[in-house]
């Protein structure tokens, strides 16, 4: 059980965009999800259409987020304890268009995508899942 508790802690402290421990974590005001400040800023800068939460896709009327200092403090403590982030394994390939890691799969096209790709016209409305989830389903 200690291993699963450590894994759960790692998952809670991992940004859903970069899949690393949070760096300068912020809370999106509308839905309550957390991201690295740089990750959510990059997602919103690359979005030509209306803003939405990168995790739940809930519309976000304004670019409102606030620092989550408590979460940042917990990440700092976990790093001091030497617990690695939840994303083990080799460095993933990067998107040729956005330069982000390819960590998603478009089920319609069968193509690997980065976190920014689903915001583009090419994949709008498509079903996109984490690549790891698609791999597990195929096994």
Q: What is the pLDDT along the chain (139 residues), one digit of tens a residue?
A: 556 777 788 888 999 888 889 999 999 988 899 999 998 888 888 766 678 888 888 888 887 889 999 999 999 998 888 877 665 555 668 888 888 888 888 888 888 888 888 877 887 788 888 877 655 554 4
Is residue 20 exposed (0-12), middle (13-18) or buried (19+ Cβ within 10 Å)?
A: middle
Domain residue limits at 20: 2-81
**How many angstroms separate the CA atoms of 5 and 111, rounded?**
33
Q: Does the residue 62 lie in any domain?
A: yes
Q: Do both 6 and 58 map to the same domain?
A: yes
Cα 9 versus chain centre, distance: 16
- Per-residue pLDDT at 48: 64
Q: Does the residue 89 lie in any domain?
A: no
Q: Does the residue 94 lie in any domain?
A: no
Q: Phi then psi for 37, rounded to 5 degrees?
A: -55, -45
Q: Does the residue 93 lie in any domain?
A: no
The number of domains in the chain is 2
Q: Do both 116 and 60 map to the same domain?
A: no
pTM tops 0.85 = no
Q: Do both 67 and 23 map to the same domain?
A: yes
> For the domain that residue 108 is a member of, what is the CATH number?
3.30.160
- Per-residue pLDDT at 139: 45
């Amino acid at each position: 059980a200690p291993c699963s508790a450590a894994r759960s802690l790692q998952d809670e402290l991992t940004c859903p965009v970069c899949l690393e421990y949070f760096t300068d974590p912020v809370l999106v005001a509308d839905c309550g999800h957390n991201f690295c400040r740089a990750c959510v800023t990059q997602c919103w800068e690359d979005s030509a259409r209306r803003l939405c939460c990168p995790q739940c896709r809930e519309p976000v009327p304004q670019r409102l987020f606030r620092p989550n200092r408590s979460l940042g403090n917990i990440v700092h403590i976990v790093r001091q304890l030497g617990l690695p982030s939840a994303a083990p394994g080799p460095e993933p390939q990067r998107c040729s268009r956005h330069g982000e890691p390819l960590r998603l799969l478009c089920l319609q096209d069968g193509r690997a995508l980065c976190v920014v790709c689903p915001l583009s016209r090419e994949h709008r409305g498509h079903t996109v899942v984490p690549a790891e989830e698609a791999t597990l389903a195929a096994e």
